[in-house]
Structure 1
């Protein structure tokens, strides 16, 4: 029996970050899969034409390296506690009304929240940080998820989590029975792969970097990503090591990051850090592949996609021994206590200086990344759909 699928597409808007990337990679494959008879898109209460096609438009050769940050009305409203409470109260009925008449379809929200729906439903829960670490979010976001998620789960038939860690967190909080939750790992796009010097040269020139002569952090600059402690640890390295391998930070400005940006500016003035803001997707594969080390000591993740993207690029990884990071790294990364600056510093020294570890980490990282693929993610997601028909 072929499947009639409605995919929530609210995260499919540029620039793509974690949930948007997941939705995009899933949508590309679901739309082509032989077991999907029909795929439709629903976004913010509206039926929309294929948003994947719009995201596939080529980037102009003269487009800037860093993407300017633009806040939409939706972004501004999402930080307003009154606005999110009104949204949480009014939209379920409105969205449910607009979805009426689709009892034979499956509705999948790749971004947590499922509206009232007469057919079968699937939700992807990426993390429970609003419960476990509310200090990492604007209060408005915490309010919204606390108001909306329980009601959403009550009308959800199957939940997908992006790691076993998040699955266990859901079970520990009694949010869903074990038979209704499945962990399906994310993956790196095929664009993330080892690069030769010839492949790297144009991007390194455009970015103003030297291949294998920098450490890298990729992610939104916000407290949860632990960039402040990474900068502190880097500042404690010897001047020679910092000079040989300056730290490159690539990521847009997140919530409550003013103090972190002040640290970035200070480190840039000292000459051992480069802040690139949000990098366009076309530059990211070379940025990863050109780094000597990916340093990602995040405090909490649902999956941590940059870990796998770096490994697939042949770049050694230092990450946290907390949350899902050990699960995702699969024994291929150097693990540190993300709350211990000395431990991060020691890890950086070891990873940057030890050639034998570097070679071993590249080999293990490539093997780990090869175990994860978006094709596999799509296949396992379809198996979840098939449970419902």
Structure 2
């Protein structure tokens, strides 16, 4: 395999692409730990997490190459990635971290690895615009046939690719799970804010997700309303975008009795997120679809009791250590499970924590990816 590996980061707009952003950062941390030389191409400092940028400055073997930074919506990433693709020389690997592998002019093609995080639009087309569905139906089959290596992040996604695109395409894919960097969440960079330190003085349930429809947050809010009637001290913290639209969404989905006990934190630093995980009474991820579900794995690896939906990759990636809800749209079922988990006081065992951490340790995951590139190269 020709080194170094190049990674274009133009798909990232900090805080706008959900967990995919941190999956990319964790993979890069793992690759750096394996001593693979990396060239990271990006547009503007503001596009990346400040914590991640600070970390890159102290890591040997990482070259940061800033250029472009076209103004405009997230879709400008396609232009940036196409320009990157056609500036490349030689046959080095490039890892395109979010499903798009742009076409290359003759004589400009290196080897391309593409990470496809999910094909949710096939299962829940109603959550995607007709324009987006048409684009993905046009583009994905072409990418799946042409990329030199295709990485899926769970066996669940491989099964869906096989179902929708056929066995021949599935055979071109390899499963490499998301890396989880627990060091990042346990004081790796920075210190928790005063606000976060104040928040953890209360009893709370934690969930980490954007308020996308498939995240099923209204069901969680309805379940919390049931639990909160019987537990007046309990709070619900939702880590994710605190845009005006999301604040309105949470208010509309909350009853007057709980509105002052539901807190939409906005995006938080790595240190604040680690602190919020560490002091949670319970972590809940009620999603109807996950290609992976990083927050549930993070919470388990930090020793927090965790409840997830019996949906797609979630039972797989939590390795049997999370409570699994078979009726994810039923608030009463969630409320009963939440109350039972809080009453039991049971937490993941030391063996469970060790298994989670060993499975998703960034360097371990990175070595799996490098092995795939070597085999596909």
TM-score by length of structure 1 reads 0.78
Give, in whole Å, the separation in 1 of the partners of 2:258 and 2:334: 22
Identify the residue that residue 65 of structure 1 maps to in structure 2. Answer: none
Matches within 5 A, 1:156-167: 156-167=147-158
Identify the residue that residue 69 of structure 1 maps to in structure 2. Answer: none
Query: Please, which of 171, 175, 188 is the counterpart of residue 180 of structure 2?
Result: 188
Show structure 1 runs of 5+ residues with no match.
59-71, 79-83, 196-200
Give, in whole Å, the separation in 2 of the partners of 1:103 and 1:163: 31
Structure 1 position 253, deviation (Å): 4.9
Larger deviation: 174-183 or 105-114?
Answer: 174-183
Report the CA distance shift for 1:208/1:353 in structure 2 as closer, same or farther (over 3 A). Answer: same
Larger deviation: 321-330 or 259-268?
Answer: 259-268
Deviation string 1:56-80 (CA, Å, 9 cap, x unpaired) is 338xxxxxxxxxxxxx7314xx4xx
Give, in whole Å, the separation in 2 of the partners of 1:310 and 1:112: 27
Report the CA distance shift for 1:368/1:140 in structure 2 as closer, same or farther (over 3 A). Answer: farther
Partner secondary structure for residue 247 of structure 1: strand
Give, in whole Å, the separation in 2 of the partners of 1:35 and 1:57: 19
Larger deviation: 146-155 or 298-307?
Answer: 146-155
Give, in whole Å, the separation in 2 of the partners of 1:111 and 1:202: 30
Identify the residue that residue 220 of structure 1 maps to in structure 2. Answer: 210
Identify the residue that residue 63 of structure 1 maps to in structure 2. Answer: none
Give, in whole Å, the separation in 1 of the partners of 2:319 and 2:160: 19
Mapped pair 1:112 → 2:113: no
Larger deviation: 346-355 or 231-240?
Answer: 231-240
Identify the residue that residue 344 of structure 2 maps to in structure 1. Answer: 354
Q: Is the 8 A contact 1:114 1:153 kept in 2?
A: no
Report the CA distance shift for 1:181/1:345 in structure 2 as closer, same or farther (over 3 A). Answer: same
Show structure 2 runs of 5+ residues with no match.
56-70
Identify the residue that residue 307 of structure 2 maps to in structure 1. Answer: 318
Q: Is the 8 A contact 2:222 2:254 kept in 1?
A: no
Query: Please, which of 171, 185, 189 is the counterpart of residue 179 of structure 1?
Result: 171
Identify the residue that residue 28 of structure 1 maps to in structure 2. Answer: 29
Mapped pair 1:128 → 2:119: yes
Identify the residue that residue 60 of structure 2 maps to in structure 1. Answer: none
Matches within 5 A, 1:40-59: 40-42=39-41, 55-57=52-54
Structure 1 position 353, deviation (Å): 1.1
Q: Which runs of 4+ in 1 moved over 6 A?
A: 51-54, 192-195
TM-score by length of structure 2 reads 0.80
Report the CA distance shift for 1:42/1:17 in structure 2 as closer, same or farther (over 3 A). Answer: same
> Matched residue pairs, number?
350
Report the CA distance shift for 1:99/1:47 in structure 2 as closer, same or farther (over 3 A). Answer: farther
Structure 1 position 324, deviation (Å): 0.6
Query: Please, which of 351, 354, 361 is the counterpart of residue 367 of structure 1?
Result: 354
Give, in whole Å, the separation in 1 of the partners of 2:213 and 2:279: 26
Give, in whole Å, the separation in 1 of the partners of 2:33 and 2:356: 24
Structure 1 position 369, deviation (Å): 2.0
Report the CA distance shift for 1:255/1:183 in structure 2 as closer, same or farther (over 3 A). Answer: farther
Deviation string 1:274-325 (CA, Å, 9 cap, x unpaired) is 2212223231000011101001111101100001111122111011111111
Q: Which has the higher contact order (CA 8 A, sep 6+)?
A: 2
Give, in whole Å, the separation in 2 of the partners of 1:306 and 1:220: 11
Larger deviation: 255-264 or 162-171?
Answer: 255-264
Identify the residue that residue 199 of structure 2 maps to in structure 1. Answer: 209
Larger deviation: 115-124 or 224-233?
Answer: 115-124
Report the CA distance shift for 1:279/1:53 in structure 2 as closer, same or farther (over 3 A). Answer: closer
CA RMSD of aligned residues (A): 3.5
